[in-house]
Structure 1
């Protein structure tokens, strides 16, 4: 993606934020239409040296020409900041990403289906217990087993959390591996596995389209007459 893709995006975000109906855009009360300053080439180089991998080109362009985070899809694009000499992404759930594993390829496959089905088959049912406290203990133990399968750290190696949709639902940007540059949905809190966002033609959604599609929809709302 060329730098021209991002040429006027910051100005468009600022104009939408000043629009008469800007507060009606979903998530605007969270990000408040604020974009952080772009990174310098030196800061980006320092970030990539720390994580040990070059970020996807579309995202690199955004960081250099639009901002390090802020206004964006849902409650905003998680900003990347230098804190006490180390770079990190900040936001609700950003710490789910293991920054020491970003150079590892994001896995092509999810957990073993047989293992998932085995854990699901063992889910306790309330009618099987005479004492509600015994059921609560059993379901708590089951939840721990389920989370160990679905939220295993290796499942999101090579990826960062970039946005929070509310109710513990998030979106990830894949940094490494065959899915590099694509956006994935994370609704594991609702027992729905990680899945790539797809266009109507079935092709994966990449960062630039993810962001500019949001901006186009936001502009239609924010710039409309209340």
Structure 2
């Protein structure tokens, strides 16, 4: 297994922060290109014991090597906080108690009651909506989802930590009646935390430095 290395992240963020106009750049204005301190191995072990599940390898490596929150896409990564002996992702709707439950979905879907109208083109719905029978009875749509990052207006980017889509990045746009959708790379593969975070960082550098 290839070792996951996030050692380049802080120097790259520092370069962005030092760039003229960095404070006005919409890609970094909400977090100032700064990451919060990383977790210690003991803190990570305590966190995973509390939530009852081992986090996906690339995200847990990020927590250990880069930071526990801060600089990231949109409004940044929801930071981990430990208060009164309990861990939580600050300002995030993540339900700690349901992270061990499987996120049951493998295809994008719009929850019952959220679909304003059926697609007019035959077959289109099948591309992005699961049939109701594909979802286990009693499964909550947010089970197994870690809400990583808000895009504003109650729109969220999530990381699947339990279930068949574990390790994938999914968007929760149910507030806009667009449901839950897996994020994809240009080649059509499902996006991981590494893909998602590094794409944002590369785009930020291209915007700042033109490279």
For normalisation by structure 2, the TM-score amounts to 0.81
Query: Which residue number in structure 2 is paired with residue 59 of structure 1?
Result: 59
Report the secondary structure of 1:30's partner residue.
coil
Return closer, same or farther for 1:196/1:173 CA change in 2, 3 Å cut-off.
Answer: same
> Is 1:88 matched up with 2:88?
yes
Return closer, same or farther for 1:41/1:200 CA change in 2, 3 Å cut-off.
Answer: same
* Number of residue-to-residue matches in the alignment: 190
Return closer, same or farther for 1:79/1:73 CA change in 2, 3 Å cut-off.
Answer: same
For normalisation by structure 1, the TM-score amounts to 0.76
Report the secondary structure of 1:165's partner residue.
strand
- In structure 1, C-alpha distance between the alignment counterparts of 2:192 and 2:141, rounded to whole Å: 20
> Is 1:103 matched up with 2:100?
yes
- In structure 1, C-alpha distance between the alignment counterparts of 2:3 and 2:36, rounded to whole Å: 18
Return closer, same or farther for 1:82/1:112 CA change in 2, 3 Å cut-off.
Answer: closer
Return closer, same or farther for 1:181/1:114 CA change in 2, 3 Å cut-off.
Answer: closer
Q: CA deviation at 1:111?
A: 10
Return closer, same or farther for 1:19/1:102 CA change in 2, 3 Å cut-off.
Answer: same
Matches within 5 A, 1:150-189: 154-189=140-175
Report the secondary structure of 1:11's partner residue.
helix
Which shifted more, 49-58 or 194-203? Answer: 194-203
Query: Which residue number in structure 1 is paired with residue 185 of structure 2?
Result: 199
Extract unaligned runs of 5+ from structure 2.
118-137
Pairwise CA RMSD of aligned residues?
2.5
More helix by share: 1
Higher relative contact order (Cα pairs below 8 Å, separated by 6+ residues): 1
- In structure 2, C-alpha distance between the alignment counterparts of 1:153 and 1:31, rounded to whole Å: 35
Q: CA deviation at 1:21?
A: 3.3
Q: CA deviation at 1:175?
A: 0.6
- In structure 1, C-alpha distance between the alignment counterparts of 2:70 and 2:36, rounded to whole Å: 6
Q: CA deviation at 1:81?
A: 1.4
Which digits, 9 at most, give the CA deviation of each residue in 1:178-223, with x for residues without a partner?
Answer: 1111111111111101101111222111000100110111112233
Q: CA deviation at 1:113?
A: 7.8
Extract unaligned runs of 5+ from structure 1.
122-151
> Is 1:79 matched up with 2:79?
yes
Which digits, 9 at most, give the CA deviation of each residue in 1:40-78, with x for residues without a partner?
Answer: 000000000000000000001100000001000111011
